[in-house]
Chain A
Amino acid sequence: MQGDATGPKRAIRSLPLVVAGLVTLAGCISVEAPDKPIVIELNINIRQEVIYRLAEDAGNTIEENAEIF
């Protein structure tokens, strides 16, 4: 009887696996492609403090090179 892996006992033993499978599937189904285009912001790693530090210098640079700005 112990070695017998058929019948309801086997079903009970494999139940967690089935549940896990269902949960995984449910997770998969919930992932949907966004209907809006994904906007990738460039230079996201540039920090505001860096921009603030450079602001005055960049302003002068624009004035010094007015013909290309």
Chain B
Amino acid sequence: MGSVVKGSGMNRDLVRKMALAAAGFALAAGGLAGTAHAQRDPAYEAARESGKVGEKMDGYLGIVGASTPELQRMVNDINIKRRAVYAQKAQAANATLEEYALTAGCIAIARTKPGEKYQAPDGSWQTRTSAPPQRDSRCPA
């Protein structure tokens, strides 16, 4: 084995190149993992696209229309996680949980894609179009 590598300059070169490529690939993969964020669960993504769930003004996810135990569980799970994130970030920003959540709600509604549901200031569910969503007057531009 060793004699094969030693015996041929071409082989040694190839091994070195492969090692470099592997190292480069590992670095690139590591970099990607570091910057790319975890994406939505397919069930959550599907519920958003079909309008079964929508973004509420208060920064949490809501069920639009009929609820099922499965849907409720998914929404609860996401909202509990959101609340934990809001609490941590609010504390760091010297704000209250509600203030931080409401701000996140403004932004989450602004970032909905056409076809997704969001809650308008009057409390009604609206379907996002290409036009800007109806938001609380206090929401930032």
Beta-carbon contact of A61 and B85 below 8 Å = yes
A48 to chain B, nearest CB (A): 4
Q: Say if the beta carbon of A59 comes within 8 Å of chain B.
A: yes
The answer to whether B138 touches A66 (Cβ under 8 A) is no
- A55 and B40 CA atoms in complex are apart in Å by 22
B78-122, CB < 8 A from A:
78, 81-82, 85-86, 89, 93, 95, 98-100, 102-104, 106-108, 111, 121-122
CA distance A43 to B100 in the complex (A): 11
Per-residue 0/1 for A43-69: is the Cβ within 8 Å of any B Cβ (1 yes, 0 no)?
100111011111101110111111111
Interchain CB contact under 8 A, A46 and B93 = no
Complex interface: chain A residues within 8 A of B40 (CB): 66-68
Whether B41 is near chain A, meaning CB under 8 Å from some CB there, is yes
Query: Which one of B58, B107, B123 lies within 8 Å of A62 (CB-CB)?
Result: B107
Does A42 interact with chain B (Cβ within 8 Å)?
yes
Please give the residue numbers on chain B whose beta carbons come within 8 Å of chain A beta carbons, in ascending order: 37-41, 57-58, 78, 81-82, 85-86, 89, 93, 95, 98-100, 102-104, 106-108, 111, 121-123, 137-140
Beyond the given pairs A46-B138, A65-B81, 4 more chain A to chain B contacts, judged by CB atoms under 8 angstroms and listed by A's residue number, are A50-B95, A51-B106, A54-B103, A55-B107
A-B contacts, 26 of them at CB < 8 A, read A42-B57, A43-B58, A43-B102, A50-B99, A51-B102, A51-B106, A51-B138, A54-B99, A54-B100, A54-B103, A55-B140, A57-B89, A58-B89, A58-B104, A63-B37, A65-B82, A65-B85, A66-B38, A66-B39, A67-B38, A67-B39, A67-B41, A68-B81, A68-B85, A69-B82, A69-B108
